[in-house]
């Protein structure tokens, strides 16, 4: 069975600084997808960034980038130039690519606070 581990329950960063959230996963699958979702106080689940396991290039979305290390089964999220609006819970999630079974398996989340 797949598992996702986020070892940092809480983190904080100063506005405009850079922060990295860690995520590791365990799977025997070779083809899968990884995601970071953001959940602000409104509790809406918002996709931040995604990575296909077959792609060696790390995904980037504006200030958000990932460091995907397939052999190490590591998928960290880097937030550059942190903004107050980045304050949220961040969840790492795994999905195996297997027909119609596309459930997301979630980590416990990291609560990120951005300080002014």
By the criterion CB under 8 A, which residues form the site for other proteins? 33, 35, 37, 42-47, 50, 91, 93, 95, 97, 100-109
| Cβ burial, residue 106 (10 Å; 0-12/13-18/19+) | middle
Query: Shortest approach of other proteins to residue 76 CB, angstroms?
Result: 19
CA–CA dist 99, 25 (Å, integer) = 21
Minimum Å gap between C-beta 116 and other proteins is 26
Q: Which residue, 82 or 90, is less far from other proteins as judged by CB?
A: 90
> Which stretches of the chain are assigned E, i.e. beta strand?
3-5, 10-14, 19-21, 24-26, 32-39, 46-52, 60-61, 64-69, 74-79, 88-96, 105-106, 110-115
- Pick 16 or 98: Cβ nearer other proteins: 98
CB of 27 to other proteins, least distance (A): 15
Which DSSP symbol is given to 40? -
Q: Cβ closer to other proteins: 53 or 114?
A: 53
User: Which CB, 57 or 116, lies closer to other proteins?
Assistant: 57
Q: How far is the CB of 95 from other proteins (least distance, A)?
A: 6
Neighbours of 17 (CB within 10 A): 13
């Amino acid at each position: 069975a797949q598992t996702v581990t986020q070892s940092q329950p809480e983190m904080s960063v100063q506005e405009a600084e850079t922060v990295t959230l860690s995520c590791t996963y365990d799977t025997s699958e070779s083809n899968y997808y990884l995601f970071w979702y953001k959940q602000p106080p409104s509790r809406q689940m918002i996709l931040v960034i995604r990575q296909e396991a077959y792609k060696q290039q790390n995904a980037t979305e504006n200030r958000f980038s990932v460091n995907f290390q397939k052999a190490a089964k590591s998928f960290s999220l880097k937030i550059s130039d942190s903004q107050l609006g980045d304050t949220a819970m961040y969840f790492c999630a795994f999905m195996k690519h297997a027909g119609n079974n596309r459930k997301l398996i979630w980590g416990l989340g990291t609560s990120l606070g951005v300080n002014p």
